[in-house]
Every structure is written in C-alpha cells, then in structure tokens.
Amino acid sequence: MNVESILEVVPPLAVYLMVGLVIGLESLGVPLPGEIVLVSAAVLSSRQALNISPVWVGVAAITGAIIGDTIGYTIGRRYGMSLFERLGRRFPKHFGTGHVALAKQLFTRWGVWAVFFGRFIALLRILAGPLAGALRMRYKYFLAANASGALCWAGGTTAVVYFLGLAAERWLARFSWVALVLAVIVGIGMTLLLRERTRGLIAQLEAEHDWETLREHR
C-alpha cells in the first residue's frame, strides 16, 4: 500500500493533520517522506469527489514546515555540532559526516539562502533547522528564510500538482496514458540521476572529514 492509497481512505481533516505532522517531523530532522506525502495529498485534492481542499493542504504543509524547522533550530542551537555527531554515529545513512559536511559547505557559501533553497533539497530539508541553530545563525534571519521558503515550496508544490492533476484528468480523457507514463519515467530518471550525483559528492566528503574536523571548522 502506497502513500496515496492510504490518504484516499482517511477523512480530509486527517489528511491535513498527516501532511502537517509528517512535514513537521521531517523539518525537525526526522528522515520522513514529507515531499511524497505533500505531492500525494495535492494529487488527491485535484479529485473533486474526495473533498480535500488544496488550500488547506498547502496551509498544513507550510505550518508543519515552519514549526518543525523552528523546533529543529532550537535543538541545534542548544546542543551544537555534538547533536549531529551523536545522530551520525547512530544513523550514518542520514546524518553521516558527508551529509553534514555538504550541508555546512552550502551554509558557508549561501548563508541564509541555504535555509530558503534548502526547502527544495531533500538533504537540506532535514538538516537546515538544526544546522542553522548549531551554526548560531540569527533567529530573525532564519525565521524569515524558513517561512518564505516554506511558503514557496509547500504552497508552490501544492498549487502546481493540483492544477497538473486537473489538467491530467482532462488530457487523459482525450489521449492515452503513454505520454503520461513517458513523462513520469523521464522525471524519475532525472531524480535518480541527481540523487546519484549527490551520493557521490557525499561519499567524497565523507572520506575527507571526520567529526573532529567538522567541530573545528564552524
């Protein structure tokens, strides 16, 4: 059973709560499929019979993202880089030295913009809040970037997927599934290619850094 099939059998209010909770936990630093849940909910909202509002899907996602990132920021500011070291030793596939080193490089290069654009990148979406706190980014700048990034990412994703869902229903009524399947395959292929390149960069950074060097270079 996939995420979309689960969302189909729950009432609209539960869908909104699920979207907000999953995205909030992901923003907090828990590796959950927040983007998949958001896209699935947005697709369902394009089906009029289900009575799921795309507006409330977007509101739930934005709220969850802001709250989750803020809690993550607070935790990161309280415990510093030692938090990532403990998480990295327990969950190296998600919080290894390569992951943290890459995130730190992006923060060093882009500053507060890393928080904004981090909403659109799976790695930074998990690490942005706690890492911004650990690096002592000023909260008012973090909050502005966090809120605007959440609005653009969650609101934009919901709107785009919703209208694409409506268009797809009309389009498929006239044409076949072939073009849609080809488009999905191309999209998946590009996603996998980007993921593979990111993995290669993380592996390279993992070989170059350990927790001691990450603690020293702040």
DSSP codes of every residue in 167-198: HHHHHHHHS-SHHHHHHHHHHHHHHHHHHHHH
Domain that holds residue 28: 3-216
Residue 106 pLDDT: 77
Say how far apart CA 27 and CA 68 lie, in whole Å: 5
Name the residue with higher pLDDT: 143 or 2: 143
Instruction: Give the confidence band of 204 by pLDDT, cuts at 50, 70, 90.
Output: low
Write the pLDDT tens digit of every residue in 150-180: 999 988 888 888 887 776 656 555 554 555 4
Tell me which of 186 and 217 has the higher pLDDT.
186
Closest to 146 (Cα-Cα) out of 131, 159, 158, 157: 131
What pTM, to 2 d.p., does this model score? 0.72
| CA 157 – CA 40 distance, rounded (Å) | 11
> What pLDDT, on a 0 to 100 scale, did the predictor assign at position 57?
92
Q: Please report which confidence band the pLDDT of residue 24 belongs to, taking 50, 70 and 90 as the band edges.
A: very high
Which one has a higher pLDDT value, 106 or 170?
Answer: 106
CA distance 66 to 22: 12
Number of domains in the chain: 1
